[in-house]
Structures are given as C-alpha cells and as structure tokens.
Amino acid sequence: MSLIAELHLIREQLPPSEKGVVNIILQDPAASARMSITELALRAKTSKTTVIRLCRRLNLNSYHDLRLYLAREAFSSHSGPAYGITEADDPQTIVAKVRDKEINAIQSTLERLDVQVLLQVARTLLQAREIILLASGGALVTAFDAYHKLLRLGRSGYLPQDQREQKFRSALLKPEDVCWAFSFSGASKSIIEALEIVREKGSTIISLTNNSQSPIARLSNLSLYGATSYLSEFTGTMEFRLSQLCIIDSLFLLMIKLGMPEVDEPLRITDEIIDNDCLSPGSRNRF
C-alpha cells in the first residue's frame, strides 16, 4: 500500500494534532515533500514532536523517509490518470470516472481474493455458536449488510454500535464464538481494544479490512481484504466500501451452498417476509 493511501486510511483515526499534519500533506503531497519538518509543523499549527510521532505511526525511521516516500509517490501519480474532478469535467465525464473507479475496485478485489480463506471464513461462521460484529464509522455500512445476511441464514449475531457495549460483548464471548471485525483502515482504536479482549477469551477473530498490514489484520485468525487503492479524496471511502460489499456477497452465496439444507428454512422464512413487504409480492428474484 502506498504511503498516501495509508494516510487516507488512518486519517479519521488520528488525534487532532496528527490529523492536522496529514491534512496538510494530502492537500499537496509534492509540496509537503519539499518542506522541512519545522515548515510542516508550522503549517499544521503543531509541533515537530507531533510530526515525528506520525512518522513512527507509519513505521518510518525518520522525517527524511517521509519526504522521500512523498516525493516518489507524488512524482508517480503526477503522470497517472486524474481520478479527481477538474473544472473541465462535464457531468458525463464525472459519471464515467465513478464507473471506472467502481469497476476497478471490484476487479482488483476479486482478483486478489484468497478463495481458500473465504472458504474457511464461511465454515467458521456457519459453525459458530454466536457471532458479534464490530465496526465503526463508514465500515458500519458493510458490517450491517453482513449482519443482515447472517440473520437471513439463521445465524445468531449481534452488531453493537456503542463502544462500551462492544467491549461487553467481547468479554462475554466463549472459545466456540466468533468475532467479525470490519474496518477500512484496520486501525480503529476502539475496535482494536475490543479485539484484544476477544483474544483473551480464546474466540476466533475474523476481519474484513482494506489494509493487510494493519493492527486489526495482525490480531485476526482469518483475514479478508478489500481494495487497497485510494483513488480520490472526493468520494470518501467509496472504493473501500464497495470492495467489502462484493466480498460479503461472495461469502453469503458460499455459506448458502455449504449450509444446505440447514439454512434453507431460515432463508425461506425471511424470503417470505421480504416478499410480503414489497408492493408487488413475488415479482423479484430470490436473492
């Protein structure tokens, strides 16, 4: 993963002072690469110590390394495709850029998806006594989709959104239970703290992140990864979210195949409820 992509990933998880430094860097990586540590600290209205702390968080040996990485990536991206919007872009061009970004996210995710790990995750979720899903921020969207699909398969699960409840649920798990963590950055502090509790309980940890080098991935027994490229700061975490959703869809269908005939009854029941909630019952496909 590139340094600039990693900065996008971790930005929302950082303390305000470090986040300020990252914001300056992302505004113009090339210009930041030319700044001294004092200049960057002054622009971010913080101290040189904060900049050094950010470097350590990124596993860099020094500020000099940060400048080198930024200079290299800024040069590489300068001649690459313009994934952001420009003043010359008409609506059709903007829509086309979104299309290309979405297609790229799906293709890159499924091409690198480890099917054997996906198979292990499916079997682990089907065999679990209880499942808790942990997420915060934008990753709650994908976690809720996964929770909904587990419910359709008749699996017992919880999706606590309060940080204290997340830790309560984690502390009450048993070895035969599963904790499934969702994060784009893989560095959400509250999720990491809950997962450390899960490890003490001996439960299986599954993670779905977009960063294979993240703390959450390192804490997990089984890890799945979405798209790692961050192509635009204008659309937030679109690529990350979409790539995680296509993994969840693949997992859902695989769990149906592996879980038959046990999952057939809960699927039938929930399918009827969905049909009855539609204006034209029976007019849609089963899945």
Are 72 and 113 within one domain? no
Cβ-proximal residues to 206 (8 Å cutoff; 6+ apart), any chain: 121, 124, 125, 178, 179, 180, 181, 220, 221, 222, 223, 224
**Per-residue pLDDT of the chain in tens (287 residues, 90 and over written 9):** 678 877 887 887 889 999 999 999 988 888 898 899 999 999 999 999 999 999 998 889 899 999 988 888 766 554 444 446 677 888 998 888 788 878 878 887 888 899 999 999 999 999 999 999 999 888 999 999 999 999 999 998 999 999 999 999 999 999 999 999 999 888 888 999 999 999 999 999 999 998 887 889 999 999 999 877 554 444 456 778 889 999 999 999 999 999 999 999 999 999 999 888 887 655 555 55
Residues 9 and 109 in one domain: no
CATH of the domain at 236: 3.40.50.10490
Residue 131 lies in a domain: yes
Statement to judge: residues 192 and 74 lie in one domain: no
Q: Tell whether 145 is covered by a domain.
A: yes
pTM equals 0.71
- Lookup result for tokens 């808790």: 132
**Alpha-carbon span 55 to 258, nearest angstrom:** 45
Total domains present in the chain: 2
User: Measuring CA to CA, how many Å separate 248 from each of 252, 254, 274?
Assistant: 6, 10, 20
Q: Is residue 87 part of a domain?
A: no
Do 225 and 107 lie in one domain? The reply is yes
Q: Which domain holds residue 260?
A: 102-276
Whether 197 maps to a domain, the answer reads yes
